Amino acid sequence: MARGSASRVSYHDLGPDTGDFRRDVIAGLSRAPKALSPKYFYDERGSELFEAICDLPEYYPTRTEIALMRDKARDMARLLGPRCVLIEYGSGSGRKTRILVEALAPAAYVPIDIAAAQLGGFSSELARDFPEVAVIAVCADYSRPLAVPGIDRFRGNRRVIYFPGSTIGNFTVPEAISFLRNARAVGRPGGAMLVGVDLKKNSRTLHAAYDDAQGVTAEFNLNLLARIKRELGADIDTKAFRHRAFYNEELGRIEMHLESLRDQQVVVANRTFVFRRGETIHTENSYKYSIAEFQDLARRAGFEPQAVWTDDENLFSVHYLTVPA
């Protein structure tokens, strides 16, 4: 299925459908405690709200990582080497990717993203601006194994997996290890990974970043309920829930929840779910790692940590890991 005007871009839709969403929502609300996957935040409205979060004064990760990419892209490109196949998990708006692609001049660029709305536009723009780069866009859930169509012709090129944005923080430690093991297999011996990881820091800064003054993060979190209403035709009073975010020091993670403001019932796909007042749906974890903690995690997944870049304030890190030959 080709889409977009540039000749060097192809687009493949392997994304999850409404059936998957319905099944996951029902399973998540049947669990105790209730939980939903943060991957479902990113419908069209959710992707827009996430872009707005990235521009908030309190949300330091995006601007810090972009500045880090600007400062260090040349060093990174030297280590990653020429003519690689750059596979990106969760390309989003692609601001960091542009910086990297410009410095790296890869043979191919393979963005894999669950958010279809952004993927088509971003990949055609990139293909237009970098005509030497073959762009293979894939709309899919990258947390599951998938075969990238048409990647075989780059058999001889080094594979580099780019995973920016500290999205790795959405996984628990065992999930992160199995995710990294899959990524290592995709990278193959001799391949590499470049991964953005948010650093541990004082809880005041973290709380502000996940509970901003303008309430954009609250709207982003509550949009998940709005999406369930829109797509699954559910009966939910979204005003009867509120956004909660806090740093769980012991587990080293921000947790986001949707808290029920009263005893109530919610109906999704003919199933009734009972909420007590104060009960929450756990919607996201955002783990924070020290450099040593993340390198240890990478080693447990079979990678060899080679280099790490951080900003002057030690807010954010970008790790370069290799797959042993």
As to burial, measured by CB atoms within 10 angstroms (0-12 exposed, 13-18 middle, 19+ buried), residue 258 is buried
Q: Out of 97, 170, 260, 317, point to the residue binding ligand AVJ (CB under 6 A).
A: 170
Enumerate residues 283-302 that contact ligand AVJ by CB under 6 A.
284, 286
Enumerate residues 62-121 that contact ligand AVJ by CB under 6 A.
none
Question: In this chain, which stretch among 6-14, 78-86, 135-143, 167-175 interacts with ligand AVJ, using CB under 6 A?
Answer: 167-175
Q: Which is nearer to ligand AVJ, 154 or 294 (CB)?
A: 294
Q: What is the DSSP letter of 176?
A: H
Preceding amide of 82 cis, omega within 30: no
Q: Out of 94, 111, 169, 305, point to the residue binding ligand AVJ (CB under 6 A).
A: 169
Q: Residue 251: in which H helix or E strand, if any?
A: none
CA 317/CA 325 separation, integer angstroms: 25
Enumerate residues 180-219 that contact ligand AVJ by CB under 6 A.
210, 217
Q: Which is nearer to ligand AVJ, 12 or 243 (CB)?
A: 243
Q: Which is nearer to ligand AVJ, 124 or 167 (CB)?
A: 167
Nearest approach in angstroms of CB 128 to ligand AVJ is: 26
Using rule CB under 6 A, residue 317 touches ligand AVJ = no
- Residue 63 near residue 86, CB atoms below 8 Å: no
CA distances in angstroms from 255 to 98, 225, 246, 258, listed in the order given: 30, 17, 6, 10
Query: Could you please report the per-residue DSSP string of 138-175?
Result: EES-TTS--PPTT-GGGTTSPEEEEE-TTGGGGS-HHH
Using CB under 6 A, count the residues that bind ligand AVJ: 11
Judged by the rule CB under 6 A, the positions of this chain that interact with ligand AVJ are 53, 61, 165-167, 169-170, 210, 217, 284, 286
